Amino acid sequence: MSLIEAAFRFLCLLVLLGSGFPASNYTVSHEYCVLGAGPAGLQMGYFLSKSQRDYIILERNDGPGSFFDMPDLLFQRMTRELYPSADDFPRYLSMFVKELGLKVKYGTDVGRITAADINGNQGYVLTDQTGVSYQCSVLLVSTGLWVPQQVNFQGSDLVEGYESIPTDPEVFRDQSVLILGKGNSAFETAQSILGRASRIHLYSPSPVRLAWQTHYVGDLRLEDIAIVHRAREEGKQRRAKKGHQAALKGNEPLYLTLSELLEEQSGKNISGQNLPSYHTDNFSLRQPYDRVIRCLGFSFNFSIFDGSARPPQSTGARGRLPAVTAWYEGRGTPNMFVLGTAAHSRDYRISAGGFVHGFRYTVRAVHKILEQRYHNIAWPATKFPVTQLLPWILRRVNEASGTYQMFGVLGDVILLRGSHCEYLEEFPLQALPQLHVLSGLPISDQGLLVLIMQYGLNQTDTLGPGRAESEWTKAWKSKFLHPVLYYYNTVPTEKNMRQRPVGWPLPRPDALHHMVEDFLTEWDQPISHTQPLRRFLEHCLGADLRAFYAESCFLLSLTSRAPPIFCRQGYLRKQGIVGNHHLWKHARDAGLMEDHQGDSEPGDDASLPKFLKQTGGVVMSMMNYELFDLTQNLMEPKT
Ligand SMILES: Cc1cc2nc3c(=O)[nH]c(=O)nc-3n(C[C@H](O)[C@H](O)[C@H](O)COP(=O)(O)OP(=O)(O)OC[C@H]3O[C@@H](n4cnc5c(N)ncnc54)[C@H](O)[C@@H]3O)c2cc1C
Ligand SMILES: *[C@@H]1O[C@H](CO)[C@@H](O)[C@H](O)[C@H]1NC(C)=O
Ligand SMILES: *[C@@H]1O[C@H](CO)[C@@H](O)[C@H](O)[C@H]1NC(C)=O
Ligand SMILES: *[C@@H]1O[C@H](CO)[C@@H](O)[C@H](O)[C@H]1NC(C)=O
Ligand SMILES: *[C@@H]1O[C@H](CO)[C@@H](O)[C@H](O)[C@H]1NC(C)=O
Ligand SMILES: *[C@@H]1O[C@H](CO)[C@@H](O)[C@H](O)[C@H]1NC(C)=O
C-alpha cells in the first residue's frame, strides 16, 4: 500500500467514524454498497456482516426504516390504528442495527449513480449530496418506492397527492372527498377520514380486488386512471390559478367527468352547467367534490441512475419497478442487485416479494448467490441418504417459512445423486436453469426434485362452498396453498422455462406430485400425506423407501435380488442402522466392524441434521413422528 493510499484510507476511516470532517470531494471504496436502510437493506446488511464482508449501508435519513417513520405519511398514523405493532417497526429496526453493529452511514442522500470499471469488472460509483463518492464492486439497491404515481389529464393539477395531504382528519370535516384508486393507501385514507368527511367516494376503472380472493397481499391497486375535470359553477368569477390549495380555500367545487364525454365539447369553456353530465339526472358523478386525492401508489426512483447504470423499467407493474433477472440482478446492470419492495416486478400480483414478510427470504437467497459469485462459497446444501428424504420433505413442508411466504417464487431443490441427495433450501425457482452457476454445485444427470408451495390454478371463492379438496386422490385439484413436488430428469433449460404452461411456476416436469391441501396446513397424516408422497418419491428414485426391521431385511435379502435401499445402506452392511462417522469410527476402533469403504457411506457429521447427530444414528420409519416432533426445538431458528 502506498503512503498516499494509506493516508487516503485513514481519511476515509475518519469520516466513516463521523469525526465531523468538513464535507469535501473524495472517494470511499467498499466491496458492497447497500443503498437504503429500510427493512430490505438492513436485512442484507445483516447477512453481509455475518459473513464478514466489506460493506456499507447508505441512508439519506438519520435513522433506519424511514418509510415507517415519516410524520407526513398517513401510513404511520393509520398503521398504528390498524396494525398496532407497525408503530414499533422503526424502533425495532434501530435496535436491529445497534444490536448487530451494522455499518450504516446516515444522512447520505445518493443523488447519482454511474457505472465504472473496477479491476476489469463493472462496478458503481455513488455520489451523495456533499459530493462524496462511494466506489462499489457490488451495488445492492434497496431504496424502496418513493416517487408518487402521477396521472395526467385535464385538471390533474387540482388533485392532491396521498403523500402530501394533511394528517389531521379534522381538516376533512364536512368535506366531500373523492379518492382516486382503490388500493391499500386509498382505503387507508378513506378509513382515516371516515366519520369526518361528509362524503367519501373511491374511483377507479378496475373493480376492487380483495386479497383473500386473489391470494395477493398487495391487492386493491388501481390499474387505470379516471379522468377528472374541474368546472366552475355559474356566477363565479374566473380566478387566477393559484394551485389546488388556493382553489380549495376558495371552496370551488371540483367536478368529475369522463374524458370521452368531454371530447364532444369544445373543451375550452366548461362550466358546471355545460358539463356533458349536467342534464343527465342519473349520472353518478353529477355532484361536485371539495377535494380529489390521488392514492395511486409509488414507483422506483430511476432518476438517481445515470444512463450507464440505469436498469430498464419492468414490463409488468406498469413499468414502475426496475426489471431484474430471476436472481434479482438488474437487467443489463451486472453486479447491481435490487432488493426489497423495489424487486417486486419478479412476482408482482403473484406472491409476497413486495412485502417485508416475503422479501426477507429473497434477500437471504440473493446473499447466498453473492457468496457463490464473489467468494466461491457454494449454496449451502445438506447431504443425506435418500432413505431420509421423506422425513426431510415432511419437516420442510410443515416448518419452512421462506417457501411458504414466497410461495411459487422460492422452492427447495433436491439434487438426486444415487443413494444420496443434496438438499438446497429456498432457491429462486425462475433461476433454475442457472442452478449450477448460481449455486456452485455440480449437477449430475440423476435428476432433481423441486418442492414448492402453490395455489390451485383455478380461481375460487375462498369462502364459498366446495372450496377445498380433502381427498388425497384428488390432491391435484387443491385450491389453497399446498406443497407440490416437481421431478425432472435433467435441469430445465431457459427455453423450457419460457415455454412453461400459463400460470405455472415451473416447466412441465417428468413427474408431478401434489400433496392435498390441508385445513390445518399440517401435512403429516399417514394416509393423506406421507404414503402418497413416499410412493411418488419411490417412483422418481426407482427405489423402495420403506424402513424395515432387521428381521424384514434378513428375509428380503434372502428372497430378493435387490433388497430395499434401507436394508442395503444399513442392515446388509452390518451396521444395523444407517450410522454416522462417530458411530463408525467407534465401531471400527472397537473392532466390531470391518474397516471398508462402500459406495453408500453415510454423509459426514456436518451433513446430518442436528437432531440426527444427537441420536447417534438414523432410525427411519413411517412411525417416527415423535422423533421429529420432539426435536423441532433443536432446529435452527427461522430468520
Ligand atoms: C399505505 C402502505 C401500506 C403498506 N403496508 C405494508 C404492510 O403492512 N406490510 C408490508 O410488508 N409492507 C407494507 N407496505 C410496503 C412497505 O413500504 C414496504 O414493505 C417496505 O417499506 C419496503 O422496504 P424496503 O426496504 O424495500 O424500502 P423502504 O422501507 O422504502 O426503505 C428504503 C430506504 O432507502 C432510503 N433511500 C431511498 N433513496 C435513497 C437515496 N437516493 N439515497 C439514500 N437513501 C435512500 C430511504 O430513505 C429508505 O430508508 C406498505 C406501503 C404503503 C404505501
Ligand atoms: C429521485 O431522484 C432524484 C435524483 O437524485 C431526486 O432529485 C429526487 O428528489 C428523487 N425523488 C424522490 C421522490 O425521492
Ligand atoms: C465537489 O462536489 C460538489 C457537489 O457535487 C461540486 O459542486 C463541487 O464543484 C466539487 N468540487 C470539486 C473541487 O470538485
Ligand atoms: C362560457 O360559458 C358561459 C356559460 O355557458 C357563457 O356565459 C360564456 O359566454 C361562455 N364564454 C365563451 C367565451 O364562450
Ligand atoms: C340514465 O337514464 C337513461 C334513461 O332515462 C338511460 O337510458 C341511461 O342508461 C341511464 N344511465 C345510467 C348510467 O343508468
Ligand atoms: C379448473 O376449472 C375447469 C373449468 O371449471 C375444470 O375443467 C378443471 O378441471 C379445473 N382444474 C382444476 C385443477 O381444478
The pLDDT of residue 403 is above 50: yes
pLDDT digits (tens, 9 = 90+) for 502-548: 989 999 999 999 999 988 889 988 889 999 999 999 999 988 888 88
Q: What percent of the chain has pLDDT over 90?
A: 42
Taking the CA of 235 as reference, the closest ligand is 4
Residues near 510 by beta carbon (within 8 Å), at least 6 away in sequence: 447, 487, 488, 489
- Are 394 and 332 spatial neighbours (Cβ–Cβ below 8 Å)? no
- Residue 38, pLDDT > 50, answer yes
pLDDT for 136 equals 97
Q: Tell the burial category of 239 from Cβ atoms under 10 Å away from its Cβ (0-12, 13-18, 19+).
A: exposed
- Of the candidate CATH numbers 3.20.20.70, 3.50.50.60, 3.40.50.300, 3.60.15.10, the domain formed by 25-147+298-371 belongs to 3.50.50.60
Helices (H), 228-303: 243-249, 259-262
- Given the CA of residue 74, which atom of ligand 1 is nearest to it? 1
Looking at the chain, the domain(s) classified CATH 3.50.50.60 span: 25-147+298-371
What is the rounded distance in angstroms from the CA atom of residue 469 to the CA atom of residue 518?
A: 8
User: Is residue 43 predicted with pLDDT exceeding 90?
Assistant: yes
Half-sphere exposure of 131 (CA within 13 A, CB side): 5
| Protein residue with least CA distance to atom 9, ligand 4 | 269
Average model confidence (pLDDT) across the chain: 78
Q: In the structure, which protein residues have their CB atom closer than 6 angstroms to any atom of ligand 3?
A: 25, 131
587 CB-contact burial (10 Å; exposed 0-12 / middle 13-18 / buried 19+): middle
Pocket test for ligand 4, best of 236, 266, 271, 279 (most atoms within 8 A of CB): 271
Cβ(554)–Cβ(564) below 8 Å: no
458 CB within 6 A, ligand 6:
yes
Looking at ligand 6, which residue's alpha carbon is closest to its atom 10?
Answer: 458
Measured in Å, residue 135 CA sits from the centre of ligand 2 at 20
Q: Which residue has the cell 473524495?
A: 26
Residue 536 CA, ligand 3 centroid: distance in Å? 66
Which of 248-257, 476-485, 505-514, 613-622 is predicted least confidently? Answer: 613-622
pLDDT computed for residue 548 by the predictor: 83
pLDDT at 382: 96
Residue 59 grid coordinates? 441512508
274 in ligand 4 pocket by Cβ < 6 Å? yes
Nearest CA to ligand 3 atom 7: 131
pLDDT greater than 70 at residue 551: yes
- Give distance in angstroms: CA of 550 to centre of ligand 1: 59
**C-beta 353 within 6 A of ligand 1:** no
Q: How confident is the model at residue 349 (pLDDT cuts 50, 70, 90)?
A: confident
Cα–ligand 1 centroid distance for 134 (angstroms): 23
CA end-to-end span of the chain? 40
Ligand 1 contact via 355 beta carbon (within 6 Å): yes
Which backbone phi and psi does 637 adopt, to 5 degrees?
Answer: -65, 145
Q: What b-and-e string marks burial along 509-546, b requiring 16 or more CB atoms within 10 Å of the CB?
A: beeebbbbbbeeeebbeeebbbebbbebbbebbebbbb
CA-nearest residue for atom 9, ligand 2, is 111
Q: How far is CA 474 from the centre of its chain?
A: 30
Residue of the CA atom closest to atom 12 of ligand 3: 25
